Chain A
Amino acid sequence: MAGLETRGLCKGWDFPLLDQLDLSVEEGEFFVVVGPSGAGKTTLLRLIAGLESADAGRIFIGAREVTRIPPYHRRAAMTFESYALYPHLSVFENIASPLRARGERDPSVRRRVTAIAELLQIERLLERKPDEVSGGQKQRAALGRTLAADPEVFLLDEPLSHLDARIRHDLRRQFHTLEALRKTATLYVTHDYTEALSLGDRIAVIGGGGFLQVGSARDIYENPVSVEVARHLGQLEINVHDAELVAQGGQLQARVAGAGDLSFPVAEQHARQLTAASTSAKREVSLAVRPQHIALAGPDAGGVPGVAESFQAFGATGALTVTVGGATFRVLTSPDLDFREGMPVRLAFDTAHFLYFARDGGRNLARGESGDG
C-alpha cells in the first residue's frame, strides 16, 4: 500500500505549474524531489498538505483520499523552508504543539517532547524562545514539531537549505537514522542535487510541470533521460557540445562540432544503441561529458592536447577549464594544482561514460540497460 499517492495532480496560477503529476511514495520510503527553484516543488508539498487546493487530480494518504479534506485532518506533517516556529512560544511548546492540538495530557506531552529533544540533541534549549537559538537549532526544533505530530506522511521543504555546511552534514546524517522517517512515507524537496543523491531511496527530477525522471540515485546520475536532467545533477555543470556521429572504418566516431578534427570513438555499448535507434550512419547529437570523466593525462600518456583557460580551487576539488580546438571543457581535478592561462595540458576522456542526447528535445539516445526507457 502506498503511503502517499497523487494521480493526475494539476495546479497553476496564471501559468500551469504542475501538469498531470503522478507520484507514489511507499510507506517507509524516503522520496526526494529535486529541481530548480520555481519548478513547483513547494507547491507540490503544499498541495499534499492541503494548504493549496488542486485544480484537478486526486491525493491519497494511506488508503484515504484526502483531496477535499482540510489540512488539519490530513495527518500530514510538514517542515517549512522558513521553519515557521511560533515566536511567542518556547521551543518546548513549539514541539508540543501537535500534541496539544490533540488534547494530550501534560505528563505524556512532557515525555514525548523530551524524547524528541534528546533525539535531536536540543534538550537544553527547550525553555528558550525560537529567536534565542541558532539556525540549525531552529531547524531541529521545526523537525521536532514535525516528528511529534506522528503523521502518516512527512513533507520536508528544503529543511537544510539555510544551514551552514557542517550542520547540514550533521542533520543529513540524522535524516538517515531517524526511525520515524524510516517508517513513514517521506517526501523531501530540495534544489541541492548532493542532498538528493545522498538521501533519497528514490529521486524524482522535477521540471516542466512534471517529473522528468524518477529512479535511484545511480540511475538518475548515470542514465539521465534527457540533457535537462543531466545538466541538473553533478558537481560542476556537465560539458555539452554539438557533435556529429560518423562511421569510420567500422568504428562509430563522435566528431565535436567547431573543435577542429576533435573526435572520440563511441564506446561499444553506446554504438549499439545509437545505431539501433537510427539507420542513418551520420547523425547530429549533443555529446555530454561529466567533468569528473575527464582526467589530466601525464606528458607521455597520450591524451587530447588542449590549453588551460582558468582554474579554481574549492577546498576539496578544483575546477579547470580547458579549450580543445574551439570547444571548452570543464574538468574536475584535485585542488592542489597550479595552472596558468595558456598552459598546455593533455586530457584523457572516459568515453564509456559519455552521454548522447538528441539535438532537439534532448532525449538520451543511448540509455543503459538499467533504465526503464
Chain B
Amino acid sequence: MTRAPSRPPPAGRWPLIRALLLAFLAVWLLLTLFPIYWQFITAFKSTGETNLTVPTFWPREWHPENFAAIFFERSNLNALIDSFLIATGNTLASLFLGSLAGYAFARFPRQAGGENLAFWILSNRMFPPVAVLIPLFLLFDSLPWGTDSRLSLIILYLIFNMPLATWLMMVFFRDAPRELEEAAYLDGYTPARAFIKVTLPLVLPGMISVAMLCWIFAWNEYLFANLFVGTEVRTFTIVIPTFSHGSQTLWNLQMAFSLIAMLPPVVMFIALRRYMVRGLSLGVVKG
C-alpha cells in the first residue's frame, strides 16, 4: 500500500518555515535565558573573578558565602521586608479601590461618570512617570508622614496600579453577568451579600492576576523609591546599587541579592499560576 497520508504534518509541507521558526525560537530563548544564567553564575563567583577582563562562563570556584554576606547585613533583610510591606500594602489598596471603581464603571456606567472618566483614569498611566517626579516629591514632602516612609510609596504607587486595577476589574465585572446578581436579589440577598455570594467568586481569578501585576510593579519599582525613601525606609531596589562603590562594583553581591529578590515573585507566580490561566466559565447565561 503506497497511499499518501491524507493529512501530512506541517513539517513535511513547509520544512524551511519550520526550520526558521525553530531558529527564531532558539535565538529568543537564548536572549531570554542568558541574563538569568549570567546572574546565577556571577552570584557564585569571587569578587576577583567578576572583574576579569576575559569573563568566565562558569565559576572557577563556587562562593555560596556571597549569599550569607547579603544577610550578614541586617539592613539588607530590612530592605526586603520594606519592599514586601510596600508591595503588599499597595496591592491591597489598589485591588480594593480598583474593584470598587471597576464595579461602578461596569454596572452604573452613566452614574459613574461614563467612559470619559474611566478613560481619564487610564490616561494617568500614559505620561512618562518622570514628568511628575518633582511635583509629586514636593506634594508628598508636605504631608505629615513625609516622603521617607512606607506609606508614601504605598500611596504613590496607587497612581500607577489603581488605573490598571480599575480597568481590568471593570472588564472582569462586565463579563460577570448582571443577571446573576439580579437572581441573587430575588433569592433574598442584599446587594452587598449578592456581591460576595455571586460576583466576587466569578471575578476572583481575574482579581488574583491583577493582584500579581500590581505586586510585581511595586516590588520592582526603582525610580520613585530612589528619590522618595532612603533613610528611614529602604527598598531592595535602592539597596542593590549601593554595592557599587566609586572604584569597584561588587557584581557578585549585586547578583546574589537580585537573585534573592527574584524569588518571591517567581514563587508567587508558580503558586497562583492556575488562577491566571483558569477562566471560570461565564457561559452559563445564554445570550
User: How close is A70's CB to chain B, nearest CB, in angstroms?
Assistant: 7
> Does A101 lie within 8 Å of B189, measured CB to CB?
yes
Most chain B C-beta atoms within 10 Å of own C-beta, residue among A84, A97, A131, A149: A84
What per-residue 1/0 map shows which CB atoms of B216-241 lie under 8 Å from chain A? 00000000000000000000000000
Q: Which residues of A contact B185 (CB under 8 A)?
A: 50-51, 70-72
Are B198 and A149 closer than 8 Å at their CB atoms? no
| The stretch of A73-81, A226-234, A288-296, A354-362 that contacts the partner chain | A73-81
A189-229 CB mask vs B (1 if < 8 Å, else 0) is 00000000000000000000000000000000000000000
Query: Is residue B266 contacting chain A, with contact meaning CB distance below 8 A?
Result: no
Q: Does B56 contact A (CB under 8 A)?
A: no
Q: Please measure, in the bound complex, the distance between the C-alpha atom of A88 and the C-alpha atom of B285, giving whole angstroms.
A: 12
Say whether B284 contacts A131, CB under 8 Å.
yes
Are B188 and A51 touching (Cβ within 8 A)? no
**In the assembled complex, A130 has its CB within 8 A of some CB on chain B:** yes
**A127-155 contact mask (Cβ, 8 Å, vs B): 1 or 0:** 00011000000100000010001000000
Contact A88–B286 (Cβ < 8 Å): no
Which residue of A is nearest B200, CB measured? A88
- The distance from the CB of B142 to the nearest CB of chain A, in whole angstroms, is 45
Q: Mark B244-287, 1 if CB is under 8 A from A, else 0.
A: 00000000000000000000000000000000000011111111
CB distance from B172 to the nearest CB of A (A): 14
Interface-central residue, A82, A88, A149, A162, by most chain B CB under 10 Å: A88
**B residues near A78, Cβ cutoff 8 Å:** 183, 186
Chain A interface mostly: loop
Within the assembled complex, what's the spacing in Å between the Cα atoms of A36 and B11?
56
Q: Contacts of A101 on B, CB cut-off 8 Å?
A: 184, 187-189, 193
**Residue B180, interface by CB 8 Å:** yes
Among the listed B177, B190, B202, B287, which residue makes an inter-chain contact with A88, where contact means beta carbons less than 8 Å apart? B202
Q: A131 — which chain B residues lie within 8 A by C-beta?
A: 281, 283-284
Contact residue range for chain B? 20 to 34
B110 shortest CB reach to chain A, Å: 12
Closest residue of chain A to B282, judged by CB? Answer: A87
Q: How many residues of A contact B (CB 8 A)?
A: 29
Which residue of B179, B280, B287 has the most chain A CB atoms within 10 A of its CB atom?
Answer: B179
Indicate if the CB atoms of B183 and A80 lie closer than 8 Å: yes
Task: List residues 186-207 of chain B with CB under 8 A from any CB of chain A.
Answer: 186-190, 193-194, 197-198, 201-202
Q: A320 contacts the other chain (Cβ, under 8 Å)?
A: no
Are A98 and B286 closer than 8 Å at their CB atoms? no
List the A residue with the shortest CB-CB distance to B182.
Answer: A51
> Given known contacts A82-B179, A82-B285, A101-B193, is B280 in contact with A87 (CB within 8 Å)?
yes
Q: How far is the CA of A74 from the CA of B182 in the complex (A)?
A: 13
Bound Cα distance A102, B189 (Å) = 8
Min CB gap B275→A, angstroms: 13
Interface 0/1 of B31-75, CB less than 8 Å to A: 000000000000000000000000000000000000000000000
Q: Assess whether B186 is in contact with A49, with CB atoms less than 8 Å apart.
A: yes
**Which B residues lie within 8 Å of A145 (CB)?**
183, 187
B186 near A72: Cβ-Cβ < 8 Å: yes
Query: Closest approach, in angstroms, between the C-beta of B279 and any C-beta of chain A?
Result: 11
B193 contacts across to A, CB distance below 8 A: 101
Kindly state whether residue A266 has any CB partner on chain B within 8 Å.
Answer: no
Note all chain B residues with C-beta closer than 8 A to A70. Answer: 185, 190
How near does chain A come to B200, taking the closest CB pair, in angstroms?
A: 10
Contact with B187, one of A50, A87, A138, A149 (Cβ below 8 angstroms):
A149
Contact status of A72 and B188, CB under 8 A, knowing A51-B182, A84-B179: yes
Give chain A residues whose Cβ lies under 8 Å from the Cβ of B198.
Answer: 86
A187 touches B (CB below 8 Å)? no
Give the chain B neighbours of A88 by CB distance below 8 A.
201-202, 280
Indicate which residue in A82, A98, A162 contacts B188 across the interface (CB closer than 8 Å): A98
Residues of A close to B186: CB separation below 8 A: 49, 51, 71-72, 74, 76-78, 149
A86 to B180, CA, bound (A): 6
With contacts A71-B182, A80-B183, A82-B179 taken as known, whether A87 is within 8 angstroms of B189 at the C-beta atoms is no
CA distance A145 to B184 in the complex (A): 10
B285 touches which one: A71, A84, A97, A102 (CB < 8 A)? A84
Please, which residue of chain B has its CB at the minimum distance from the CB of A79?
B183
Q: Are B187 and A84 in contact (CB under 8 A)?
A: no
In the complex, which residue of chain A has the Cβ closest to the Cβ of B283? Answer: A131
Q: Which 5 A-B pairs have the closest CB atoms?
A: A101-B188, A84-B183, A87-B284, A71-B185, A98-B187
Residue numbers of A with Cβ under 8 A of B are 49-51, 70-72, 74, 76-78, 80-88, 97-98, 101-102, 130-131, 138, 145, 149, 162
B interface, CB within 8 angstroms of A? 177, 179-180, 182-190, 193-194, 197-198, 201-202, 280-287
A-B residue pairs in contact (CB < 8 Å), sample of 18: A49-B182, A70-B190, A71-B185, A72-B186, A77-B187, A80-B285, A84-B180, A84-B183, A86-B184, A87-B283, A97-B184, A97-B189, A101-B184, A102-B188, A130-B284, A138-B284, A145-B187, A149-B187
**Other A-B pairs, 20, CB within 8 Å; known A80-B285, A84-B180:** A50-B185, A51-B182, A51-B186, A71-B185, A72-B186, A72-B194, A78-B183, A83-B284, A84-B177, A84-B285, A86-B197, A87-B280, A87-B283, A88-B202, A98-B188, A130-B284, A131-B284, A138-B284, A145-B187, A162-B286
